[in-house]
Amino acid sequence: DAKTTQPPSMDCAEGRAANLPCNHSTISGNEYVYWYRQIHSQGPQYIIHGLKNNETNEMASLIITEDRKSSTLILPHATLRDTAVYYCIVRPGSGNTPLVFGKGTRLSVIA
Amino acid sequence: NAGVMQNPRHLVRRRGQEARLRCSPMKGHSHVYWYRQLPEEGLKFMVYLQKENIIDESGMPKERFSAEFPKEGPSILRIQQVVRGDSAAYFCASSPPGLGYNEQFFGPGTRLTVL
């Protein structure tokens, strides 16, 4: 079972920042937080991952709380093409392990 | 560098037939994962393979399903005697060799419809 809890759906206006929360209160010390998204019927796409420090790449930023029990994925300027299901995944720290997907958050970006 | 390739993209089978789904990982990747997504549900892990070895098949149904990743050629997910409940999207992912927190790259999926 997934070790994360996410809201089932969110809306965001185009051009605004989308902030997607995730709770992972039982995360272990060596587990990373990964974010993937799945745009309608396509294969999931990796977005970002982090251990305890905030991370940023060309797609998004990941903010992890100091106690590591929750995190927020930030899409700084959401576009219509960001409409997708976003999955927050806690991954065991022994490398090359399968991903355990929960139900994710369905983000709708509205014009 | 081409991404993960899966074929066919769509497959229609009648009950009792066999389905063969193929996955070619990204160049240099030696780890392959298969996931299944039933209609209106999330993705579920099925099996994890390295070249010529099954590492973890804990998510694979015990009967009718098998997977292989030969030394040469694509990974194959084989479903024998398909039933309507096998209708789903099957996604393959690959990752490079070595330890570490390597991201998995997903293919476009094969949509299996069982009539």
Determine the pLDDT at residue A81: 95
Q: Does B51 touch chain A (CB under 8 A)?
A: no
Cα(B42)–Cα(B90) distance, integer angstroms: 12
Q: Calculate what percentage of chain A has a pLDDT beyond 70.
A: 96
Q: How confident is the model at residue A91 (pLDDT cuts 50, 70, 90)?
A: confident
- Closest chain B residue to the Cα of A92, Cα to Cα: B101
Q: Does B107 touch chain A (CB under 8 A)?
A: yes
- Closest chain B residue to the Cα of A103, Cα to Cα: B42
Q: Calculate what percentage of chain A has a pLDDT beyond 90.
A: 80
Q: Which two tokens stand for residue A48?
A: 């970002």
Q: Does B10 touch chain A (CB under 8 A)?
A: no
Cα(A35)–Cα(A18) distance, integer angstroms: 14
Tens of pLDDT, residue by residue over B77-100, are 999 999 999 999 999 999 988 766
How many Cα neighbours within 13 Å face the side chain of B16?
A: 0
Tens of pLDDT, residue by residue over A65-83, are 999 999 999 999 999 999 9
| Average confidence (pLDDT) per 10 residues, chain B, 115 residues | 90 98 94 93 93 93 95 95 96 84 88 97
